Structure 1
Amino acid sequence: MSRPPLRVVVADDERMVRTALRVILDAEADLEVVGEAASGAEAVSVVRALAPDVVLMDVRMPEIDGIRATEQILRSMADPPRIVVVTTFENDAYVYDALRAGACGFLLKRADPDELIGAIRLVARGDSLLFPAAVRSLAAAHAAATRPAAPPWAGRLTEREAEVLRLMANGLTNQEIGERLGVGPQTIKTHVAGVLAKTGSRDRTQAVIAAYEGGFILKKS
C-alpha cells in the first residue's frame, strides 16, 4: 500500500517563486503543495489550518518575517510541521535566527530541483538540513557577540553520544552516521535521543545549534 504524499506549504512573498516551487513539487508523486502564503502572518494562518508535513519558509516577508512565523507555528501547534527556511544567502544572520527559533534546516534559493525535492524528503523523515560550514560561521559570529558559557551538558555526554553529535553537526543523516560508526539505525536513534535529552533540545537542529553556541563543536572538531 502506497503512502499518501507529503503535504507541503510554500511561504514566499514572490508569486513567481511560489508558482515555480509548486510546479516542481507537484510533479513528484510523493509530494503535494496543499497551500501557499505571501506573508509571515498568512503562513501562520495557512499552516495552522492545513497542518502540512513540511513548510518552505522564506526568511524575509512582510507583516512578520519567517523567523517570527516559525516561532508562532511551533509554539501554537501540538504537532507542528518540519520547517525549512529558504534563503538567498547562506551567511544571512536571519538564517541562524530561524534555526534557533526551531527551523529544522535551510535551503538556498539557487538550489536545483533535485536538491529541493531531496531536502523535503530528508526533513520529513526526521533528519536536519544543515550546511556545516555556514552554520559554523554563523555560530562563531553569534558566540563572539554573546560570549556564551561552556555548556553544562558537555560532560554528561557519553563518548559515543559526543561522536554522534559531532557527526550530526557535520550534516550527516542517521543512516550515514550508522554507516560511519558501523552500527544499526535503532542504535543511532538511541544515541540521538540521548543527545537531545542531555542538551535539552527539541530536535537534531537545536542540538547542533547548542553544540556550536557552547563551543563544543568549534573546540572539539
Structure 2
Amino acid sequence: MTGRGPRVLLVDDELLVCAHLRVILESAADITVVDEAYDGAAAVEAVIRHRPDVVLMDLRMPGVDGLTATARIAALPDPPVVVALTTFDADQYVVRALRAGAAGFLVKSTPPKDLINLVRVAADGHTVLSPVATRRLLAEAGERGGGRDPRVALVAGLTGRETQVLACLGAGLSNAQIGRRLHLTEATVKGYVSRVLVKLRCANRTQAGLLAVEAGVAAS
C-alpha cells in the first residue's frame, strides 16, 4: 500500500456486524471500506473486483466459510492481507485460518480506536497477532487433537541467526524492530525473513511467526 490509506473489504454474514465495522472504520479519514460481502464466495469475488488492501474475514459463515475463502484469497496473485474476525480469542478456527494464510486475527469486540490502528498495521504488512493468545490457541488445538503443523520440524534446519529472526517474527516484530533488537540493517533483516519463509515453506511472516510460537522459539 503506497500513497493512500488502506482500502478494506468487510466479510460477515451478519449485516449488523458489517454496518458496525463500517461506521468505525470510516470514522478514520484515511480508511475506505470498498464493499461488504456476506459469505465466502462473495468475498473472493469482491477481492477480485475491488483489489482491497485488507479483508476483515468472519470465519463462521454458512455456505463457503471464512476458512475456505481465506485459502482461496491467499492463492490469488498479489493477494490482500486477510485478518480473521472472531467473537472470542479462543476460537479454534483461528489457528486454521492462520495456517490457511490469514495475517492475524481480531476479536469483534476490539475497541474502535484499536481496530482502526490494527487495520493500518495489517495494511502496512505487519502481523496482527498476539503471541500470548496464539500460544493458548496452539495449546488448546493440541489438546483437542488439532495436531502440530508438520513444518515445525523444518525449524531445526535454520541457522542460528535465522532462528533469532524467526523468534522475532513469533513476537510480531516489524523488520525495523528486528533490526534494532539484533543490531542489523532493515535490508539485512528483509533478506533473512525471505530466507526463513522459503526454508519453512511459509506464504507470509504470520505463518512463520505461528511456527515460531508452536516450536517454542518465539521471543518475548
What displacement does 1:202 show?
A: 1.0
CA contact (8 A) 1:157 1:198 kept: yes
Q: Which residue of 2 aligns with 1:22?
A: 22
TM-score by length of 2: 0.89
Matches of 2:171 and 2:49 in 1, distance apart?
35
| Partner secondary structure for residue 10 of structure 1 | strand
Q: Which residue of 2 aligns with 1:113?
A: 112
Structure 2 counterparts to residues 146-185 of structure 1, below 5 A = 146=147, 151-185=152-186
What displacement does 1:150 show?
A: 7.9
Q: Which residue of 2 aligns with 1:58?
A: 58
Structure 2: gaps spanning 5 or more residues: none
Q: Name the aligned partner's letter for residue 18 of structure 1.
A: C
Q: Which residue of 2 aligns with 1:102?
A: 101
CA contact (8 A) 1:56 1:86 kept: yes
Matches of 2:164 and 2:60 in 1, distance apart?
35
Matches of 1:147 and 1:168 in 2, distance apart?
19
| Partner secondary structure for residue 202 of structure 1 | coil
Matches of 1:166 and 1:130 in 2, distance apart?
14
Matches of 2:31 and 2:50 in 1, distance apart?
15
TM-score by length of 1: 0.88
Identity of aligned residues (%): 44
Q: Which residue of 2 aligns with 1:127?
A: 126
| Partner secondary structure for residue 217 of structure 2 | helix
Matched length: 217
What displacement does 1:85 show?
A: 0.4
Pairing 1:138–2:133 present: no
| Partner secondary structure for residue 34 of structure 2 | strand
Matches of 1:51 and 1:207 in 2, distance apart?
25
- 138-147 vs 122-131, which deviates more? 138-147
**Counterparts in 2 of 1:4 and 1:96: CA distance versus 1, 3 Å:** same
Structure 1: gaps spanning 5 or more residues: none
String of CA shifts for 1:8-38, please: whole Å, max 9, x gaps.
Answer: 1001112222112112212222210000011
- 93-102 vs 176-185, which deviates more? 176-185
Q: How large is the Cα RMSD of the aligned pairs? A: 2.2
- 128-137 vs 78-87, which deviates more? 128-137
String of CA shifts for 1:112-146, please: whole Å, max 9, x gaps.
Answer: 12211111111212211111122112223444533
Q: Which residue of 1 aligns with 2:212?
A: 211
Structure 2 counterparts to residues 60-79 of structure 1, below 5 A = 60-75=60-75, 77-79=76-78
**Counterparts in 2 of 1:12 and 1:151: CA distance versus 1, 3 Å:** closer
What displacement does 1:204 show?
A: 0.5
CA contact (8 A) 1:136 1:212 kept: yes
Matches of 1:205 and 1:56 in 2, distance apart?
16
